[in-house]
Amino acid sequence: MRYNEYMPSTQRRVGLWVLSLVSLFYLIAVFPLAYFRHDDWLILGNAVHHFALDWTSAFHPTLFYVNEEIVWFFRPVFKALVYVFYRLLGFHYYLWLAVLYACFVASVGMGCVAISKLTRSTYWGLFSFVLLIASLHVHFGSLFWMGEGMMNCPQLFLLTANLFLFSLSQEKAFYRNQGVAYLCFVLALGIKESSVFHAGFLGLIILLDSKFARDRKLGLLAVYGVTAATYLYFRLFVVPVNPYYVPQIHFLPLAKALLTLLAALALPLFIPGFLQWRRSPADWLAYKKAIRGLWPYFLFVLVTLLPYLGHPFFSPGWLLLPSAYLVFTLGLLGNRIEALPIRWRSLVVWTLVLSSLPVGLRVVKLRWWDWKQGQMAMQSYIQTAPAEKVDKVVVYDCVDPATPHLAFDRVIGFEAGLHHLWGIYHPGDIPIQIRACDRFRDRYTGKKRDMVLFWKFPKLDWVNRDAVQGY
């Protein structure tokens, strides 16, 4: 062929190169700086205090905030996984993230093998692998924070395992592979509700890109369609809905979230097209025609964005699943055109550089590299506190008003989460309060039975340690 970029050996080398580079980035530069924070303590506390005592609590669509059971989500498999991780890995946060990263890489690998089988082309499987691994903005939010990663990475693993077995069943052992694939889909529903969209993705593949006989196509459509419809009825009308996640239709927040999601998806969509147009404008027409032929898949990807609209916050972890579907959709171009006349090294470099920009800007704004010292200090103070001498924990949040994103509850945790952290180390229950920084705080520093903490990013001080521990 004309370009050595088409050679499978070159494609594999580029794939290993980008995987090695991204792995070093996470294992050396990111994971050592991360630690438990915010929702992590709430999730851990529920696993240790409730799931460990009664495994059936995993099937309750609730979480315990302090001593009150609050409506949350129906995620029994997620709750069980958190407990298993805690029993195996304890508080070794680096290991938590390393395992989640391995889960993510395995997910991308299985998804791309599935694309290779569906298109009968290793080129498009490797193309999908390289594009998804190089898109840092897509997976960073799920890999630097356990609270998001424990939902998104196992979910993606099960859904791509389903896709792999689904594609494998075209070649051999149809009923066995489809049976295990279906089990993976059901388990994924127990991790996160957005897994239900996978039935739609499979439906499009069955209709547009599979080689199954007609009766098997109808059977698969019926099985996944009935399962998805039953699950949606159960989640919407049987299980209570989390009131904090009911969408609010306000134009500006909704438009901001939609633009953020679309901008994130645009990057892996347009970089390959831009590189092809730059290298071979004549082939650009064929590429455009093939892209237009995928319009049902693109419409599906837009539908997967709906649950993330109408909320007063945005989580970068939300990008992982829609972006994976988008990249796998681009892989299905292999059933429409032979290959893209682009240099894979250019694809990797452009994607890495452009996707790292929003990640880098966000990290700098949050000064994220300084978060860990306060997070570990909070855990250490509670672990070493003499429980018999402490009646109350009071935290004075003295963050600069110009940087509300560095507030105590954002960087370290909120009251319910810290309540669970206290419960991991000490029996009994004590009040925990987070107060605004004011001129009266010095009155409390001499109290012997109040544990008084002072937060001014990035430092957390136990200002009356001697008074509490010394009497």
Residue 3 has pLDDT above 50, yes or no: no
Averaged pLDDT, 379-400: 91
Question: Do 131 and 182 reside in the same domain of the chain?
Answer: yes
Q: Considering 366, 381, 414, which residue would you say is the last residue of a domain?
A: 366
Considering only residues 280 and 102, tell me which one the structure prediction assigns the higher pLDDT.
102
- Average pLDDT, stretch 48-66? 88
Q: What is the pLDDT of residue 2?
A: 43
Instruction: With a cut of 80, say whether residue 429 has pLDDT above it.
Output: yes
- At residue 78, the pLDDT reads 96
Smallest Cα–Cα separation from 417: which of 26, 36, 45?
45
Residue 318 belongs to a domain: yes
Q: Are residues 376 and 351 in the same domain?
A: no
Contacts of 117 (CB under 8 A, 6+ apart): 125, 164, 167, 168, 170, 171
The pLDDT score that the predictor gives to residue 31 is 96
- In this prediction, residue 401 has a pLDDT band, given cuts at 50, 70 and 90, of confident
- Of 7-21, 306-320, 368-382, 423-437, the range with the highest mean pLDDT is 368-382
Last residue of a domain, one of 313, 338, 366: 366
Q: Which two tokens stand for residue 31?
A: 């994971």
Q: How far apart are CA 358 and CA 248, in angstroms?
A: 26
- Token digits for 260? 């953020």
Cis omega (within 30 of 0) for bond into 458: yes
Q: Which pLDDT score, from 0 to 100, does residue 72 have?
A: 93
* 11-15, 85-89, 210-214, 437-441, range with the lowest pLDDT: 437-441
| 425 within some domain | yes
Same domain, 189 and 95: yes
Say yes or no to pLDDT of 156 above 90. yes
Q: Kindly state the average pLDDT of the residues 21-49.
A: 93
Q: Is residue 289 part of a domain?
A: yes
Instruction: Please check whether residue 120 lies inside any domain of the structure.
Output: yes
336, 380: one domain: no
Please give the Cα distance from 367 to 14 (Å, whole number).
32
Q: Are residues 373 and 280 in the same domain?
A: no
Residues of the chain above pLDDT 70, percent: 95
d(CA 341, CA 3): 7
Distance from C-alpha of 307 to C-alpha of 408, rounded to nearest angstrom: 28
For 303-318, what is the mean pLDDT? 89
User: Can you say how many angstroms the Cα of residue 307 is from the centroid of all Cα atoms in its chain?
Assistant: 14
Q: Structural domain of residue 386, as residue ranges?
A: 369-470
Q: Are residues 390 and 351 in the same domain?
A: no
Residues 357 and 402 in one domain: no
Q: Are residues 273 and 170 in the same domain?
A: yes
Which residues touch 79 (CB under 8 Å, ≥6 apart)? 46, 47, 51, 57, 58
Both 129 and 189 in one domain: the answer is yes
**Residue 41 domain-assigned (yes or no):** no
pLDDT-above-90 percentage for the chain: 66
Rounded to the nearest integer, the mean pLDDT of the chain is: 90
Q: Could you report the per-residue pLDDT of 62-82, keeping only the tens digit for each?
A: 998 887 889 999 999 999 999
For range 196-221, the mean pLDDT: 95
Confirm if 369 and 29 have CB atoms less than 8 A apart: no
Give CA–CA dist 141/329, Å, rounded.
22
Residues 96, 13 share a domain? yes
Higher pLDDT, 288 or 21: 21
Global pTM? 0.94
Q: How many Å separate Cα 458 from the centre of its chain?
A: 26
- Out of 343, 366, 389, a domain closes at 366
Q: Which of 165-174, 279-288, 311-320, 372-381 has the lowest mean pLDDT?
A: 279-288
Distances (CA, A) of 316 to 139, 242, 367, 375: 8, 20, 17, 21
Distance CA 69, CA 48 (A): 15
Residues 242 and 376 in one domain: no
57 lies in some domain: no
Of the listed ranges 7-11, 93-97, 155-159, 241-245, the one predicted with least confidence: 7-11
Mean pLDDT of 152-179: 96
Number of domains in the chain: 2
456 pLDDT exceeds 80? yes
Question: What is the rounded average pLDDT of the residues 9-25?
Answer: 89
Residue 90 · residue 303 · CB < 8 Å = no
pLDDT value of position 342: 81
